[in-house]
Amino acid sequence: MDSAHVQAHVQAHVRFTIRQKMTLMTKEYVVTAARPDGSDGEVVAFAQQKRITLSEQMAFYTDESKEHVLCTFEARQILDPETVYDVRDAVGQIVGSFRNESVASLFRSTWSMRQPGTMDLTGRERNRVVAGVRRVWEWLPFTDFVPFLWPYHFDFLESGKRLMAVDKKFGLRDRYVLDILAPDLDRRLAIAQAVALDALEER
């Protein structure tokens, strides 16, 4: 299946499940299209991140064989907390971009996501109380070894209208549900942003 058909196939879905898989050397993300009953369907994206490398770039493949690239994201600048991450398709064309708004994120994790010519979204943690407790937790000693178990949820809005949501579910392994309410939002950009919430913030 060529890249155009792959894109059309992924674009047809409005809900995805993202599961994180941990191995000794890598962190992996398996993205599946959700079935109507909410269960996992077919794999539409797979990303792998080596623990010993920087997290400023990531490639997404169409499945776990890693034979075909779906998209990639890469930071414009290394080790810059406010750098822009460009999302590109399989042939290197810009799909969109996202970045962490570091000042706003001091109190409540905030991201901006842009799809050129169509939409500019702002994503924030839905629950202010959970966001505040999380910030206090991060300052406590030894919490690097004790994960913050309360799940977080993000809403991405444009002009007050929710166009995308990422919900973390309870479980022994990280599992996220990505809902897309904007038909024109590129699913590759949405998937890359949703994975980045975990990969770049190390949640």
pLDDT digits (tens, 9 = 90+) for 136-160: 555 556 545 455 555 678 999 999 9
Structural contact between residues 17 and 176, judged by C-beta atoms closer than 8 angstroms = yes
Q: Where does the pLDDT of residue 49 fall: very low under 50, low under 70, confident under 90, or very high at 90 and above?
A: confident
pLDDT digits (tens, 9 = 90+) for 11-35: 999 999 999 887 777 889 999 999 8
Domain of residue 114: give its range.
Answer: 3-199
d(CA 76, CA 57): 10
What's the domain count of the chain?
1
pLDDT at 21: 85
Structural contact between residues 194 and 179, judged by C-beta atoms closer than 8 angstroms = no
Token pair of 55, please?
């997290």
pLDDT digits (tens, 9 = 90+) for 75-133: 998 878 789 999 999 999 999 999 999 888 888 889 999 999 999 999 999 866 565 55
Residue 58, domain CATH: 3.20.90.10
What sections of 102-173 are H helices per DSSP? 128-139
pLDDT at 181: 96
d(CA 86, CA 57): 9
> Look-up: residue for tokens 């996220």?
176
Residue 193: its H or E element: helix 187-199
pLDDT at 2: 60
Q: pTM score, two decimals?
A: 0.87
